Structure 1
Amino acid sequence: MTFFPSVGPKDKAAHTYYDEALGLIERADELGYAHVKTIEHYFFRYGGYSPDPVTFLTAAAARTSRIRITTGAVIPAFTHPVKLAGKLAMLDNLSHGRLDVGFGRAFLPDEFEAFGVPIDESRARFAEGLEACRRLWTEEDVIFEGDFHRFGPVTLQPRPFQRPHPPIYVATAMSQDSVEEAGRKGYNLQLVPATSNRERTRELIDAYHAARASGGHQGAGKVQLSYPCYVAEDGAEARRLARSDEERYNERLGEAVQAWGRVASSAYPGYDKILAATKNYDFDTKLGDHKLLAGSPEEVRAQLATIQGWFGDDITVSLTVHSGLLPVEKSRRTVDLFAAEVAPAFTASTR
C-alpha cells in the first residue's frame, strides 16, 4: 500500500492528512496487507506533504506490529549518506526489522535546484549514496572516498536490526540502466507502470531478471509495481471517484514538472515530454490500459488478473489508496473491500 499525498494547505491541513493515512495503515495492518510505502518529494502539492518518508514511516511502525515499512523512495542525492544510513538503521530497529529501503534518483528540477545539486549528477550521486549506506550498514571502521562524499573511519550506530542490512529496492520510472544495475547488484525493483506502456514495463522487468541472473544472484528478486486503486460495491461509483482523484493528481503533477519546460538534461532522456503528457492526460485511456485499478471487487479482480497475466504472478502490487483528495471514508472502503473480496483470489503479494 502506497501513500502519495497530492494535497497542500489550501486543500487539507498536513496533520489531518497524516492522521487519516495513519488510521488507514492501522486498518491495513489488521487486515493483513503486506507493506506500507511512502515517497520523498518537496514544495508542491505533488508529494510535498512527504519530505521525509522516514519520519512518517516511524509513526506508522509505532502504530502497527506486522506490516512491512517501505521507503518508495529516499533520495541519496539530497541527504548525506552517514545521516541517511543512520536514520534508516534506527527505523529498522524501531520496527523490529520490518523495513524495506527503496532508493531513488528524483526527477523534479526544482528539487535539485533547491538542494544545490546539479541534476546531471543525479545518477552518480544515487549510486554513490546507495553504496555508502550499504557499506555503513555492513562494515565497521568504514573509510569512504567517493566523488561527492569522503568520510571515515566511522562505525555506524545503531547497526541495522536485519542482517546484513534491510532489503534494498531501486526505484525507477523508465530507466533501462537503473533496472539492469539493480539486477546486477542483486537488489529488488520498484516500478510505476503508469509512466510507460505495457510492453516497455515488460521489457524492463525482463532486463532486470536477465541482469540479476548474469550477476550470479539466486532467485528472481522482488518486483513491486504501484497502481492507484479505487474499489466500491458499485463499479460506476468507483470509476467516478477514480476519475476525480486521478484528474486532480495529474493537475498537481503538471504543476511540479513545469520546470521541464526550461530544463534539459542528458541524464533524463524523454523527460522534456513529461509536461506535454500531463496536458494530454485522458482518464479513460489510462483505465483502459490497466494503469490503475477501479471498479467493483469483481471488476478489480479481473483487472488484476490481466496485470498478473502480463507481468507474472510473482510481482508485488502496491496499491495507492489515499492521495488526500477524496474523503478518507472512500479510501477506507477501498482498503476493506480489497482485503475482503479481491485479495483472496490472489497471493498475499498483491497488497
Structure 2
Amino acid sequence: MKFGINLFPTVSPDEKSAVQHFDEALRLAELAEELGFDHVKTVEHYFTPYGGYSPDPVTFLAAAAARTSRIRLVTGAVIPAFTHPAQLAGKLAMLDNISHGRLSVGFGRAFLPDEFEAFEIPMDESRQRFTDGVEACRLLWSEEDVEWKGAFHRFGPVTLLPRPYQRPHPPILVATAITPESCVAAGRAGYGLMMVPSINKVEKVQEMLALYREAWVAAGHDPAAQDVHMSYNCYLAEEAGRAHERGRTYSEHTNRALAAAVEPWTRTKSSDYEGYGRIVERVRSSDFGKQLRDNKVLVGAPQEVADRLRLIRSWFGDITISLQVISGNMPYEESARTLRLFAEHVLPVFTP
C-alpha cells in the first residue's frame, strides 16, 4: 500500500485566513516528504467552506513542487467542465515540467450545483464535458498538430507547449463517487481511479472496484499498473479516547461544511447525476460513531489505525490511501502530530 496526504480545506475566512491556511498546508507538504509519504493531493472547489480555499490545485501544487524534491503531486481533482481543455492541458504540462515529472492528474466531474450555476454550465452536460475534456488533454499531451472538434470546443491544428515532462503524458486518474459506469470507463481506458469510500457501503465499493478491475484486464492493460486512490479523514493521538473525541469534533465540522454545500440538491435534478438527490439525506444522517465502527475514518491510536487499515486492505486490496489530515480545520500542530505518529507506527507495517 501507498500513503499520502489530501489537503482538502474545510475552513471559512472567519475561522482561518487564506494566508495561514496555505502557509500551514505547504509546511505539511514538506513534512509529508520528510516523513516518507508518497504524495500530496488537493482539490478544486469554489465559493464555500467545503473546499473553497482551493479553486486551483495547480497553483498550490506548483508551490509544493518548489518546496519538495521527491513526493508526487496529485490533482484530486481538476474539473474539465470549468476550463477550456487547451488551457487546462497547458498549465498541467507546465506543472509536470516544474516538478520534473512528479505530477499525476486526477480529473473530476464536479457535483455541487452552485458551482455549475456560477460557471453557467448546465449540469446535464457534465458527463460529456468531462469525457471530452479528459480526452482532449490526453491528445494535446501525447500528439502534435492536434485538431479537436468536440461538442463544446473546436480548435486546431495546434501543438501544445510546453510538452509534458512525462511521456506520453502524466498518469491520469478519474474520480467517481457513486457511478459504476465511471469505473468501467476508467478501467477500459487504463486510467487510475479516485474514490471516497465513506459515502458508500463496503459492498458497493467492492462492486465498483470489481467492475473497474475487470474492465482493465479485458482491455489488455497490465494488472500491476492499476492505481486506486481512496481518501479517509485521519486523526491520530497516542491515546485512543483523545483521538476519538477530537476526531469526532473535526468530522462533525467537515460534515457541516459538506451539508451546506450539497443543500442545493434539495431543489436540483440532472440526468447526469442520477441518485444525487439522496446525497443531502446521507450527509444529514452522518454519524461519527457509525463511521468509526464501519472503518470509514482512520481515527484512533496508532495500533488501532493500523488494524483498521489491515481490514481495509482485506476489503479492497493494496490501494493508495490519501490521509485527509486537515479536514475539520485541525490546528497545524495536530495535523503534524497525526503525520508523525502515522509515519513512525503505521507506515512501517504496510511499506517495505
Q: Post-superposition shift, 1:228?
A: 0.8
Partner of 2:340: 336
- Quote the Cα distance in structure 1 between the aligned partners of 2:242 and 2:146: 56
Secondary structure (helix, strand or coil) at the match of 2:241 reads helix
Instruction: Give unpaired runs (5+ residues) of structure 1.
Output: none
Partner of 1:286: 291
- Quote the Cα distance in structure 1 between the aligned partners of 2:196 and 2:334: 23
- Quote the Cα distance in structure 2 between the aligned partners of 1:340 and 1:45: 32
Instruction: Give unpaired runs (5+ residues) of structure 2.
Output: none
Amino acid at match of 1:96: H
Amino acid at match of 2:320: T
Partner of 1:233: 238
Q: Post-superposition shift, 1:324?
A: 5.9
2:167 to 159, 163, 167: 163
- State whether residues 148 and 156 of structure 2, in contact with CA within 8 Å, keep that contact through their aligned partners in structure 1: yes
- Quote the Cα distance in structure 2 between the aligned partners of 1:182 and 1:162: 20
Amino acid at match of 1:72: G
Q: Is 1:267 the equivalent of 2:267?
A: no
Secondary structure (helix, strand or coil) at the match of 1:257 reads helix
2:351 to 344, 347, 350: 347
With 328-337 and 314-323 compared, the bigger mean Cα shift is at: 314-323
1:117 to 121, 131, 135: 121
- Quote the Cα distance in structure 2 between the aligned partners of 1:58 and 1:286: 34
- Quote the Cα distance in structure 1 between the aligned partners of 2:341 and 2:90: 38
- Quote the Cα distance in structure 2 between the aligned partners of 1:279 and 1:167: 36
Amino acid at match of 2:121: V
- Quote the Cα distance in structure 2 between the aligned partners of 1:329 and 1:160: 36
- State whether residues 253 and 328 of structure 2, in contact with CA within 8 Å, keep that contact through their aligned partners in structure 1: no
- Quote the Cα distance in structure 1 between the aligned partners of 2:71 and 2:303: 26
- State whether residues 6 and 252 of structure 1, in contact with CA within 8 Å, keep that contact through their aligned partners in structure 2: yes
Q: Post-superposition shift, 1:62?
A: 0.6
Cα deviation 1:41-61 (Å, max 9, x = unaligned): 000000000000000010111
- Greater than 2 Å deviation, 4+ residue runs: none
1:69 to 69, 73, 82: 73
Q: Is 1:207 the equivalent of 2:211?
A: yes
- State whether residues 193 and 228 of structure 2, in contact with CA within 8 Å, keep that contact through their aligned partners in structure 1: yes
Q: Post-superposition shift, 1:217?
A: 1.1
Partner of 2:321: 317
Cα deviation 1:145-203 (Å, max 9, x = unaligned): 00011000100000000000000001111111111000000111111101101000011
Q: Is 1:20 the equivalent of 2:50?
A: no
- Quote the Cα distance in structure 2 between the aligned partners of 1:93 and 1:292: 35
- Quote the Cα distance in structure 2 between the aligned partners of 1:241 and 1:162: 41
Amino acid at match of 1:239: H
Cα deviation 1:192-233 (Å, max 9, x = unaligned): 101101000011111000011111112241111111111110
Q: Post-superposition shift, 1:323?
A: 2.6
With 87-96 and 316-325 compared, the bigger mean Cα shift is at: 316-325
Q: Post-superposition shift, 1:273?
A: 1.0
Q: Post-superposition shift, 1:347?
A: 2.3
Secondary structure (helix, strand or coil) at the match of 2:223 reads coil
- State whether residues 249 and 328 of structure 2, in contact with CA within 8 Å, keep that contact through their aligned partners in structure 1: no
- State whether residues 42 and 51 of structure 1, in contact with CA within 8 Å, keep that contact through their aligned partners in structure 2: yes
- State whether residues 241 and 326 of structure 1, in contact with CA within 8 Å, keep that contact through their aligned partners in structure 2: no
2:312 to 296, 307, 314: 307
1:138 to 136, 142, 151: 142
- Quote the Cα distance in structure 2 between the aligned partners of 1:209 and 1:323: 30
Amino acid at match of 1:138: S
1:216 to 215, 220, 228: 220
1:79 to 83, 91, 100: 83
Amino acid at match of 1:54: V
- Quote the Cα distance in structure 1 between the aligned partners of 2:24 and 2:243: 20
1:190 to 188, 194, 206: 194
Amino acid at match of 2:245: R
- Quote the Cα distance in structure 2 between the aligned partners of 1:347 and 1:187: 24
Partner of 2:282: 277
Length, aligned pairs only? 347
Q: Post-superposition shift, 1:240?
A: 1.0
- Quote the Cα distance in structure 2 between the aligned partners of 1:279 and 1:99: 36
Amino acid at match of 1:308: R
- State whether residues 17 and 324 of structure 1, in contact with CA within 8 Å, keep that contact through their aligned partners in structure 2: no
- Quote the Cα distance in structure 1 between the aligned partners of 2:303 and 2:270: 44
- Quote the Cα distance in structure 1 between the aligned partners of 2:253 and 2:322: 21
Percent identity, aligned pairs only, is 58
TM-score scaled by length of structure 1: 0.98
